[in-house]
Structure 1
Amino acid sequence: MNNSGLGQKIYSFLLAAYGRYLRTPERSLDKAYNAALKIRQIENEHFNGNKIDYDSMIHSKSVMDYFESELKKELRIIRMRLTEFKASRFFLNDSNQKAEKKLGIEHLSSAAILEKLRFIDEVVEKYTISDEEIAPINSIDQTPDVPVESLVVRPKQQNLRTTNLDNKLQNQPRGKTNTTGVLPRSIFNTIHRLQAELDPKSEQEVVQNFRKSQQRNIISVRFLLLLIIVPILTHQLSKAFVVGPIIDHFRNPDRAAIFLNEEMEEEAMLELQRFEEKIKFYDLLNNVITSEQNIEEQMRVRAEEIAEEYRRESANAIKNFTADILSVIAFIWLLLMSKKEIAVLKEFFDYIVYGLSDSAKAFIIILFTDIFVGFHSPHGWEVILEGISHHWGLPANHNFIFLFIATFPVILDTIFKYWIFRYLNRISPSAVATYRNMNE
């Protein structure tokens, strides 16, 4: 009776879980629809039915920051739930439909689904970031008339203040006076710059550009933190609540292998041998003679302790390997779902890196090259590879380690040199000259 009752409970649990799986498309669509309703509610109550605009003068900056965070949260929910809706509908087939009928699951009609999707698209369409908004400020193709050095080495304050003015200068018609005039072209550029500074709207445009730059910096920092925190949290939580309990349940402590490789076994034997020598050493030191039977008893207890330690270490290595796979999957999923954030992050790095002085650029390049491909880098790579092997419970294959050290740093050094020659030499030749002088 107990077995039949337990079997009935397991069957009911699996049936309920399968029913929840079959309701996944409708549940995902409802959550996305509710998020869109929240956005529409904020628009109607606080923006007179218009778009949630950060540049709006209706509310204060703190209130707008709150509305912006709510908007981003709901848009993220919509994007994730719509992806889940499409993926779950893709896997539905005829057998699933038969199971739905058997379980009495009723879904929304096609008209209701289309109506919700139209409403979601209508709300989200207002907040779609265009390519112009996320295009890098330092893009060379978009500023052919401005010297490259003025784009990448311009100080931060001057860049924020003159970005709009430079755009106005670029949009001026290029007549003969701009190309082959009697006076230098810089004089005409100065005149146009003065005209732009005297424009009454220039201050408002500078403020708008500053706000956009501030928003991009916030997005970049948040995304960087997510790239670090999400894999770490995935590893720790999956190891503690998912992978760990499953492995502990199916891995019998009494029958499970104590050692995963020969290196672990050698370390255990060496530790037990040191324990025996330690007993004899203290016996000689204290002029005490311990019987062989007593020594064997102490060694038996110590051997059991060592076996238990290495059994836990072996189980922990298996958990680490599985949790690392889940962390990589979470990291890749985050990258695939954040294409716009990646574009903003690329612009952020371009602005930070190419805004540094030439000596700072050369210092950073020399620091990274010496760490990863320098004379002492093989020792660091050896420590890293051995640490990874121990983390996963794998034997440290020294032939593979030596082959990796002999090839990978060379390939990495070639990539560094190619990047310096092909890209940095075109963007900032003075930084390359400084790097060569410092490297000599």
Structure 2
Amino acid sequence: MRVRRRLGLPTTDGTTASAPPPPSNKDSGELGLGVGEWGAQSWYEDWDPSVRYSPPQVDRIADEGATNFRRVTRNQGPRDKWITPLLDWDAVREGLDPDQERSEQMLTGEALVNKEESQMAVRYVARLIGIPLVTGFVVSRALADPILNFSLRNNPDAFELSEIQKVEGAKAVHVEETRLRLDMAIGRAPPLTELQMFEHLAEFAAEVQEEERHHNETILINAVSDSISFLTFAGILSQPTRGRDAMFNTMARLFYGLSDIAKAVGIILVADTLLGYHSEEGWHGLIELVLGHYGIEPSEEGVVIFVGVVPVVIDVFFKYWIFIGLNRISPGAVVTIKQVDRH
């Protein structure tokens, strides 16, 4: 309705609306059309240039449409992603540039920029790894360790043994008793009375208890240190700095600089390590190592559920990234991966 009324055509109610006069050169400049009037909004509407608009006005509308199209699709890739390698017009233009000196200057400038960016990325990675480790170590040793040691010496109930530790301690005492009786039987140790045996085992049990309490203290210190390190790491990484951008750009440049075969081999290596046939034993060992670091005894049911669910989820997201992301940046690597999977 609005377009028909603008063009002076009959509307649905039977009336005929006269088309508005075109903007004058006085108000719109040399081409008779200014941004903010009808031209800024008419490049995407259904309009008829043969009614009143002059060729300069039509050209102005076309230019505005092209400008808006470039602005909207600036961050979008080519519509046909399969022919992306054939549409690298920048590389073609640089290869056909007759000005050799300018090409050399551009290459030299790009190399210097990449070198500076790589150095900045290395410094940022060093800070990203070093600062959290040092912070966690200093906080745990300067604050947590003295407080926990004081509690360990003055509070006998602090860092009490868990049920699993008590069972393991009882096994250790039983092994010590068996060792002593064997030594007495073969004459390697003097015979002991039952009272002497009981006193020796009681002393040995106290040593086992003290070791387990110190172990519990170490576990708590590890938890404090790792928590401080993780929070520091997350805080540094969340800050939008030039170093972080340089790190991501360098990683992307290194990955994109690999050949399709190298990309495919690296992806297959990571995928088979995490999701291959023998990865189940690796996941079991990793879970026991991480939980043992914090003094947590893994349950068999929890480990089975974790190993049965988490690798499957990782595999789904991994395949989704290959189909969506890698297909766009390196179709040749995707073809190589598919060929390897067939064999």
- 2:144 aligned residue (223, 227, 243): 243
Count matched residues: 267
- The alpha-carbon deviation at position 272 of structure 1 amounts to 1.6
Indicate conservation of the 8 Å contact 1:272/1:303, yes or no.
Answer: yes
Counterpart in 1 of 2:8? none
The one-letter code matched in structure 2 to 1:360 is A
Indicate conservation of the 8 Å contact 2:97/2:103, yes or no.
Answer: no
- 1:196 aligned residue (99, 107, 120): 99
The one-letter code matched in structure 1 to 2:299 is N
Counterpart in 2 of 1:20? none
The one-letter code matched in structure 1 to 2:109 is Q
Question: Which has the higher mean CA deviation after the structures are superposed, 342-351 or 209-218?
Answer: 342-351
Larger radius of gyration: 2
What secondary structure sits across from 2:99 in the alignment?
helix
Indicate conservation of the 8 Å contact 2:152/2:158, yes or no.
Answer: no
- The alpha-carbon deviation at position 334 of structure 1 amounts to 0.5
Flag structure 1 segments of 5+ consecutive residues without an equivalent. 1-138, 152-165, 172-185
1:137-190 CA deviation, whole Å, 9 max, x = no partner? xx9858999974489xxxxxxxxxxxxxx8xx749xxxxxxxxxxxxxx6xx48
Q: 1:212 to 1:307 in 2, by over 3 A?
A: same
Counterpart in 2 of 1:298? 200
The one-letter code matched in structure 1 to 2:119 is I
The one-letter code matched in structure 1 to 2:181 is K
Q: 1:322 to 1:401 in 2, by over 3 A?
A: same
1:237-265 CA deviation, whole Å, 9 max, x = no partner? 11111221222234445423454422222
- The alpha-carbon deviation at position 202 of structure 1 amounts to 3.9
Matches within 5 A, 1:248-287: 248-286=149-187
- 1:429 aligned residue (310, 323, 331): 331
Matches within 5 A, 1:6-405: 148-149=84-85, 170=90, 189=93, 193-197=96-100, 200-286=101-187, 289-405=191-307
- The alpha-carbon deviation at position 315 of structure 1 amounts to 0.9
Q: 1:357 to 1:398 in 2, by over 3 A?
A: same
Q: 1:396 to 1:355 in 2, by over 3 A?
A: same
Q: 1:407 to 1:284 in 2, by over 3 A?
A: same
- Distance between the aligned counterparts of 2:98 and 2:112, measured in 1? 24
Q: 1:206 to 1:145 in 2, by over 3 A?
A: farther
1:281-314 CA deviation, whole Å, 9 max, x = no partner? 2223337643323322221221121111111111
The one-letter code matched in structure 2 to 1:419 is W
Q: 1:287 to 1:340 in 2, by over 3 A?
A: closer
1:11-46 CA deviation, whole Å, 9 max, x = no partner? xxxxxxxxxxxxxxxxxxxxxxxxxxxxxxxxxxxx
State percent identity of aligned pairs: 26
- Distance between the aligned counterparts of 1:143 and 1:211, measured in 2? 30
Q: 1:145 to 1:341 in 2, by over 3 A?
A: farther
- The alpha-carbon deviation at position 366 of structure 1 amounts to 1.7
- Distance between the aligned counterparts of 2:124 and 2:305, measured in 1? 36
What secondary structure sits across from 1:255 in the alignment?
coil
Flag structure 2 segments of 5+ consecutive residues without an equivalent. 1-73
- Distance between the aligned counterparts of 1:313 and 1:301, measured in 2? 18
- Distance between the aligned counterparts of 1:299 and 1:148, measured in 2? 77
Indicate conservation of the 8 Å contact 1:314/1:393, yes or no.
Answer: yes
Indicate conservation of the 8 Å contact 2:261/2:333, yes or no.
Answer: yes
The alignment's TM-score, normalised by the length of structure 1, stands at: 0.55
- Distance between the aligned counterparts of 1:342 and 1:144, measured in 2? 31
Q: 1:294 to 1:338 in 2, by over 3 A?
A: farther
What secondary structure sits across from 2:280 in the alignment?
helix
Indicate conservation of the 8 Å contact 1:261/1:395, yes or no.
Answer: no
- Distance between the aligned counterparts of 2:76 and 2:161, measured in 1? 56
- The alpha-carbon deviation at position 348 of structure 1 amounts to 1.1
- Distance between the aligned counterparts of 2:317 and 2:212, measured in 1? 42
- Distance between the aligned counterparts of 2:290 and 2:335, measured in 1? 38
- Distance between the aligned counterparts of 1:145 and 1:291, measured in 2? 90
- Distance between the aligned counterparts of 1:345 and 1:390, measured in 2? 33
- Distance between the aligned counterparts of 1:215 and 1:143, measured in 2? 31
- Distance between the aligned counterparts of 1:337 and 1:282, measured in 2? 65
- Distance between the aligned counterparts of 1:360 and 1:368, measured in 2? 12
- Distance between the aligned counterparts of 1:141 and 1:218, measured in 2? 30
What secondary structure sits across from 1:256 in the alignment?
coil
Counterpart in 2 of 1:175? none
